[in-house]
Amino acid sequence: MSAPLYFLPKLHAADLITQDKRLKASVLRERQLFDLFGDVANVEAECSIFDLKSKAPGGHSGLLLCACGTRPPTRLGYYPDFQEWKPVGKAEDAPYWIGLDKESAPTPEDLVRSAGGAGYRCELADGREWIVPVIRRPDGSTELPRDLVWDDAGVFQEQVQVRYQQIWERTEEALEWFRAGFNTLRGKAIAPALRLAIDALALLYRYDQPLHNRLRLINSENWMSVLAFVIDAPLIYAELEAEKKKRSPEEPELLSTATG
């Protein structure tokens, strides 16, 4: 049970941390890590950051970043005999490297964001249960954070917050896939569905496409389950079943008998 380690070549801790103990958004964006770490509110409470001046992935100096909170990984440092390090992109100009412990794979507790969230439990490829958030239901409701406002006409509205608007819009296509049957998506057509499943999981966990390529939590056996929970398919099925039970049963056929 170990959180992933991130090595940022040619940077120092002072380059990443602001005076008020936050992570610099500009540096995170430059190193393609904003989606993973942009929600860190307090570096000292949620992260471990320190410089690697000599031995480091790729042979460069740099900094080591780990979002581990009160649960540090089994080995917090650079231990190449016990870790598997791979660059994101080409090694010579990789924005960062990901290090995973060979003996201790990350668990949901290692990757969960501090804010957490509700959803459905879903067993992924590692055999553990992860929480998948409900993003869009057919009636337009959602569990995403919303702003409660009145429009110019004085009508009360619940509006999906701007930071979640993009994934909210993308899930409209997931409903279309569901209605047509997820199993109609094949070959390269599965790619956008997989990306949506990854991004949905990333709402609650520090998970993205590069880390997915290493952990491979979502695969051909479970991606449909993940997306089904994203659109609250269990509720859809429950409502269909309830509607079915409300229908009046057909009148039984009367049997005619002859007398004599």
At which of 54, 76, 105 does a domain end?
Answer: 105
Q: 233 is in which domain, residue-wise?
A: 111-244
Is 255 part of a structural domain of the chain? no
219-254 per-position pLDDT tens digit: 999 999 999 999 999 999 988 888 888 775 664 544
At which of 105, 124, 141 does a domain end?
Answer: 105
101, 115: one domain: no
pLDDT band at 41 (very low <50, low <70, confident <90, very high): confident
89, 161: one domain: no
Give which of 170, 187, 188 is closest to 227, Cα–Cα: 170
Is 257 part of a structural domain of the chain? no
Is 50 part of a structural domain of the chain? yes
Domain count, the chain: 2
141, 57: one domain: no
193, 208: one domain: yes
Is 260 part of a structural domain of the chain? no
47, 146: one domain: no
pLDDT band at 1 (very low <50, low <70, confident <90, very high): low
133, 208: one domain: yes
Is 138 part of a structural domain of the chain? yes
126, 56: one domain: no
Is 249 part of a structural domain of the chain? no
Supply the pLDDT for residue 250.
60
Supply the pLDDT for residue 248.
59
136, 204: one domain: yes
Q: In sequence order, what E strands does the chain have?
A: 5-9, 48-52, 62-66, 83-87, 97-101, 120-123, 129-132, 146-150, 156-160
32, 134: one domain: no
Whether 15 has a pLDDT exceeding 50, the answer reads: yes
Tell me the three state secondary structure of residue 237: helix
155-197 per-position pLDDT tens digit: 999 999 999 999 999 999 999 999 999 989 999 999 999 999 9
Supply the pLDDT for residue 243.
81
Q: How far apart are CA 246 and CA 138, in angstroms?
A: 21
Is 259 part of a structural domain of the chain? no
At which of 90, 105, 120 does a domain end?
Answer: 105
125, 234: one domain: yes
Rounded mean pLDDT, 14-24: 92
Query: Are 136 and 230 spatial neighbours (Cβ–Cβ below 8 Å)?
Result: yes
Rounded mean pLDDT, 34-63: 90
64, 180: one domain: no
Is 252 part of a structural domain of the chain? no
87, 199: one domain: no
105 φ, ψ (degrees, to nearest 5): -75, 150
Rounded mean pLDDT, 95-124: 92
pLDDT band at 70 (very low <50, low <70, confident <90, very high): low
Q: Residues of the chain with pLDDT > 90: what percent?
A: 74
Q: How far apart are CA 215 and CA 207, in angstroms?
A: 10
257 or 248, greater pLDDT: 248
Supply the pLDDT for residue 32.
97
156: which residues sit within 8 A by CB, 6+ positions away?
Answer: 148, 149, 150
Mean pLDDT of the chain: 90
